[in-house]
Structure formats: C-alpha cells, structure tokens
C-alpha cells in the first residue's frame, strides 16, 4: 500500500482536539518503532498536522512520548476496570482479568505495543519515572480481588502466582507466538491453585 492509499492514525482513531490528534498519531508511530526509531516527521504524518503544531503542544519529542505512554496506560486501566466484574469467587475474577487484557490487546494492538516500547525502547529517565508512577497499576486489580475473596489457604503463594502469571501473560503479547502454540495462562494458574 503506498502513502496515497494509507489511512493515517488521525483518520482511524477518535480525537477531539489538536492535542488529542497529535497524541493519537504519536501513539501509533511510537508503537511501531519505539522512541528512538520514530521521527517527529512520522508523528506529524500520523497526526495529519505540521511539526510546529506538535512542538507548540508538547515542546519536545520526549514530552510527547511521555504523554503518549501516560494517556495510553490510563486509557487501558479505565478500559480494563469496565471489563473486570467483581465476583464472589477469586478464580472467576482472575479469569476476567485475563479476558480483559486479551480483549484490550485485540481491540487496541497499537496501544498495547506502545506500552511495550517502554520496556524495549525508551529513554531510561522516562522508563524509570513511568514505572515508579504507574508500574503497579495493573496489579491493583489482583490486590482488590484478593481483598474481596481471600483464599483460605496459600494466600501469599496464590497472590504471587497470580501477579507473575498475569505479568507473563501481558508480556506474551510483546512478540509473535508460534501459531501452533496454544497456552492458557489462566488454566495453568488454576491448576497451580488446586495444587496448593
């Protein structure tokens, strides 16, 4: 597909202001090549706005990257909150967490990819700041599920297994899985729960 046929981010995703339009374009551009591989020119193309407009709103590529990460992360957390239903059964609630993460990845693969660029292609200062502010957000879902439904035995082991399995599941979306590989992180976790 050549540039004439390509649909840019600002044409594919909703936005309500020039600033949001730039964030949409930046999110898509950064998700493809990370911070270091993305030029402001590419962001400008995805946003459908001139480069001076980007600098007017965000001052620097680093600030734009930070805002893209932060906005995408907060959008993901809000979306997951809507999908995870509070239940009277710990495993059922945990199953909803895995389903919510899978749904978000399916609906917004570029947004998900941007969050991985934080790990693999970010200035260290931005990665450290983001991790210190937002690194544990996804695991608050696990904390709340355990508070609502404390297990009768093996609480610490089950909590640790849940956090690490959920984290592994999220990381599994960073690359392509072999087509023949069918792994159910939730089923594996459920089996471990029964063994404790």
Rounded CA-CA distance 113/80 in Å is 16
What per-residue confidence (pLDDT) applies to 161?
94
Per-residue confidence of the chain (196 residues) as pLDDT tens digits?
444 457 888 888 888 899 999 999 999 999 888 899 999 999 999 999 999 999 999 999 999 999 999 999 999 999 999 999 888 899 999 999 999 999 999 998 888 888 877 767 889 999 899 989 998 898 899 999 999 999 999 999 999 999 999 988 888 877 666 666 667 888 888 888 888 7
- Dihedral sign computed on CA atoms, order 188, 160, 172, 114: positive
Rounded CA-CA distance 163/157 in Å is 10
The answer to the question of residue 132 being in a domain is: yes
Rounded CA-CA distance 130/70 in Å is 8
The answer to the question of residue 116 being in a domain is: yes
- For residue 42, CA distances in Å to 29, 31, 130, 146 come to 7, 12, 24, 44
The two tokens of residue 75 are: 């959008």
**Residue range of the domain that includes 156:** 9-195
What per-residue confidence (pLDDT) applies to 5?
59
Q: Is 83 exposed, middle or buried (0-12, 13-18, 19+ CB in 10 A)?
A: middle
Q: Of 22, 120, 104, 115, nearest to 70 (Cα)?
A: 115
The answer to the question of residue 4 being in a domain is: no
What per-residue confidence (pLDDT) applies to 165?
92
What per-residue confidence (pLDDT) applies to 119?
67
The answer to the question of residue 103 being in a domain is: yes
The answer to the question of residue 1 being in a domain is: no
Q: How many structural domains comprise the chain? A: 1
**H or E stretch at 26:** helix 18-37
What per-residue confidence (pLDDT) applies to 182?
67
What per-residue confidence (pLDDT) applies to 67?
95
The answer to the question of residue 2 being in a domain is: no
The answer to the question of residue 164 being in a domain is: yes
């Amino acid at each position: 597909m050549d540039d004439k046929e390509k649909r840019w981010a600002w044409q594919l995703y909703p936005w309500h202001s020039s600033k949001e339009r730039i964030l949409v374009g930046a999110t898509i551009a950064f998700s493809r090549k990370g911070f270091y591989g993305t030029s402001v020119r590419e962001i400008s193309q995805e946003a459908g706005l001139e480069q001076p407009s980007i600098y007017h709103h965000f001052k620097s590529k680093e600030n734009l990257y930070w805002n893209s990460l932060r906005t995408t992360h907060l959008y993901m957390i809000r979306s997951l909150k809507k999908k995870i239903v509070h239940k009277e059964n710990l495993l059922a609630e945990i199953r909803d967490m895995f389903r919510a993460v899978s749904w978000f990845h399916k609906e917004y693969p570029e947004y998900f990819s941007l969050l991985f660029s934080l790990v693999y292609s970010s200035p260290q200062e931005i990665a450290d700041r983001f991790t210190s502010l937002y690194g544990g957000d996804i695991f608050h879902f696990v904390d709340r599920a355990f508070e609502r439904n404390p297990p009768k035995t093996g609480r610490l082991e089950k909590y640790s297994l849940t956090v690490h399995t959920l984290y592994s599941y999220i990381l599994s979306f960073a690359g392509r899985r072999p087509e023949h590989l069918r792994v159910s992180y939730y089923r594996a976790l459920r089996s471990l729960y029964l063994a404790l």
